[in-house]
A = this chain, B = another copy of it.
């Protein structure tokens, strides 16, 4: 068994330390913002549990935890859109990760087939807020 990740002992260690002490939520998950290393475009947002994070670190290929299917998956196993992880960052309080990835296949990340999951923007109009499809 791998050692568990360290737990930061203080706010200052958490925010200003060099120890990677990821904070998983009450469901054991940590959120990940995934961007394309080529141009910084935000591709998707997904979750990792501890095992997914370890596998990602060990293999260099993004693994996530699916909340809907309740299982660990290696991104791209069905879609072919694997994500080679070029860099991982943590935020100040270490409860969100930022992944810079190189996407294989057709370069998409969204299960709908689109490059990014954020393919709709909010537009305010007479009838309230609607969604407009564009690549942004």
Contact = CB atoms under 8 A, between A and B. Distances in A.
Interface of A: 3, 15-20, 31, 33, 35, 39-42, 44-45, 57, 87-92, 96, 98, 110-112, 114, 117-122, 124, 128-133, 136
A132 to B, nearest CB: 7
B112 A89 contact: no
B112 A90 contact: no
A87 B18 CA distance: 34
Given A87-B136, A98-B42, A130-B20, A92 B121 contact: no
Given A20-B130, A130-B20, A124 B57 contact: yes
A16 B1 CA distance: 43
